[in-house]
Structure 1
Amino acid sequence: MPDVRANGIDVRYETVGNPDDPALLLVMGLGAQLVDWPADFCAALADRGFHVVLFDNRDAGLSTALDELGAPDLAAIMGGDPATVPYLLADMAADAAGLLKELGITRAHVVGASMGGMIAQQLTVDHPGLVASLCSIMSTTGDRTVGHPTPEAMAALMRPPASTREEILAGAIASSRVIGSPAYPASEEWLQQRAAAKFDRSFRPRGTQRQYAAIIASPDRTAALRSVEAPTVVIHGEADPLINVSGGRATAAAVPGAELLVIPGMGHDLPQVLWPQIIDAIVTNTTRA
């Protein structure tokens, strides 16, 4: 997995599939790493004819850690004081744009999940020439009146970061039981394996805090999304407790001609049993480009 210098930071990325196929960029969410995209999910997209590009966002995984920016005061930011905001989602979208340009990719289909959906939306708004199609999964527009978490999901999100490997493994199971898909629960063994792989690769709780600050400090994208011309599909779990399905519905309503796929029983994750349905929706949307 190589690095490229993009937008002033080092971005760790990986590719799957034939470089001669159309590029498809995958953008992950809060505190997540490129390994949060399951390898078989990426391989399935490659098998459908795409050159899949996935990467670590700034402050996550093995991309640049911006520790010199310090810890944001999340309470103050939520209260309207932006003094400790380290960067915005627009900066993270610029990272993605820079990665594509450094790889010589002039246009890509873009798929983002959760915060990655927010970044993908911003990328499409700020760099429309780079985006052939947009897929926003379990995300929202930045409108504070939609996409609200349940109290239980918010408590899981704001839980103090774990400090040991054992706490990470236990926390992964506990969080999944709160925000995961109620109709498609993941096994404890699978959750622990993924959590262990992530922890062993990189552990950056301060980076996650800075990313969260970027989410809450970034402006509402609703008006800007009305200018999007790229074919768009919005996928959301009907049972998502972290970003309520109203966030997905608002996203689809904001983008002209967007299609909306609401999946019953799906929470804030990507259950393997739903991959065929999700991948079919992504591929169908790319054919509209």
Structure 2
Amino acid sequence: MRDDAQDRLVTLAGGTRVCYRIDGDPDDPPVLLLAGLGEDLTMWSERFVSALVATAFQVIRMDNRDCGRSTYAITPPPSTLRQLLARPRPDAYTLADMAADAAQLIEHLGRGPAHLIGRSMGGMIAQTVAARYPALTTSLTSLYSTTGDPKVGQAAASTIALLAAPPPRNRVQAVRAHLRMTAHLAGTGFPIDEVEEAAHAVQTWDRTAGDATAGTARQVQAIQAAGDRTAEIARITAPTLVINGDRDPIVAPSGGDATAAAIPHARHVVIPGMGHHLPDALALLVADHVVAHLERASVCPS
């Protein structure tokens, strides 16, 4: 069976179409995975997904709007200058809109509350769902993410330079760009597997149903339009786990520190040598922390 044959599509209120996949037993507690900036649902390590399924959780992965096979906005992307100045266009959507997509998907599936796991931008979306839709949230796991406070979690200059590179125009260029970026982001303790990462890049390129460059720019704008969310996430009542590495060059470790400090009773795990990536080599270590958290939350919900 082709991988994309697993894709399911639903049109949400307001007209946004969301693509998602489901793995595992429908009788097991649901876990919703929310990917990062410009990442489609295939970027989640299969080893990580399998570890969750093997411990009796049903895993739901979704393409965020402006990514993968979900809806691409018709509004113009922000200019490079607007992104550098953090001045979103008036027609920008925000993380709150992306969180509403995730909440509507949970409601559409009719499974009740879900464990939320988000990485990077997906962590910001998951935090927003947990803050705004507590009845839909069993637990929250925020992976290498931040609060939106401009004083924390800022990218290194070397990362900003890579992000400014011209976008790929074909599959070969996309693979090369992905390998450059993931090698940079991976940290010191968990180097990338180039074969594995090239396969991810090909999958993402082949599944992209719109203008990926414009979509990613609008996602950046959504983060900027949301601003500092510290006060909002302080209202989260769901059991929360914050995980980040100490070698993250795009969301500095201070972002994880601030997230854990803002959310009441959050547990905080810092993994030595981990950067801003979740390859197969790191998947089982992270999964061990996550599964323990999900199991605690399932037994003792907030």
Q: Say yes or no: does 1:214 pair with 2:222.
A: yes
Q: Say yes or no: does 1:36 pair with 2:43.
A: yes
Q: How does 1:61-72 map to 2 (within 5 A)?
A: 61-66=68-73, 68-72=74-78
In structure 2, the residue matched to 1:96 is 102
In structure 2, the residue matched to 1:236 is 244
Deviations 1:89-138 (A, max 9, x none): 00000000010111102200000001000000011111111001000001
In structure 2, the residue matched to 1:125 is 131
**Counterpart secondary structure, 2:88:** coil
Q: CA RMSD in A?
A: 1.4
In structure 2, the residue matched to 1:11 is 18
Aligned residues: 288
Q: Say yes or no: does 1:194 pair with 2:164.
A: no
TM norm structure 1: 0.95
AA of the residue aligned to 1:280: D
Distance in 2 between the 1:111 and 1:230 partners?
12
Q: Which moved more, 1:26-35 or 1:189-198?
A: 189-198
Q: Which moved more, 1:185-194 or 1:146-155?
A: 185-194
Relative to structure 1, is the Cα distance of residues 77 and 273 closer, same or farther in structure 2, using a 3 angstrom cutoff?
A: closer
Distance in 2 between the 1:33 and 1:197 partners?
9
Deviations 1:139-198 (A, max 9, x none): 000000000111011112232211111111111111122211222111222221211111
Runs (5+) with no aligned partner, structure 1: none
Q: Say yes or no: does 1:153 pair with 2:159.
A: yes
Distance in 2 between the 1:84 and 1:223 partners?
23
Q: Which moved more, 1:279-288 or 1:213-222?
A: 279-288
In structure 2, the residue matched to 1:49 is 56
In structure 1, the residue matched to 2:118 is 112
Residue of 252, 264, 272 corresponding to 2:260: 252
In structure 1, the residue matched to 2:4 is none
Q: Deviation at 1:225?
A: 1.4
Distance in 1 between the 2:282 and 2:83 partners?
36
In structure 1, the residue matched to 2:140 is 134
TM norm structure 2: 0.91
Deviations 1:15-54 (A, max 9, x none): 0000111010000010110001122321110111101111
Deviations 1:69-103 (A, max 9, x none): 01213423553643355200000000000101111
Residue of 27, 49, 65 corresponding to 1:58: 65
Q: Which moved more, 1:270-279 or 1:56-65?
A: 270-279
In structure 2, the residue matched to 1:265 is 273
**Counterpart secondary structure, 1:52:** strand
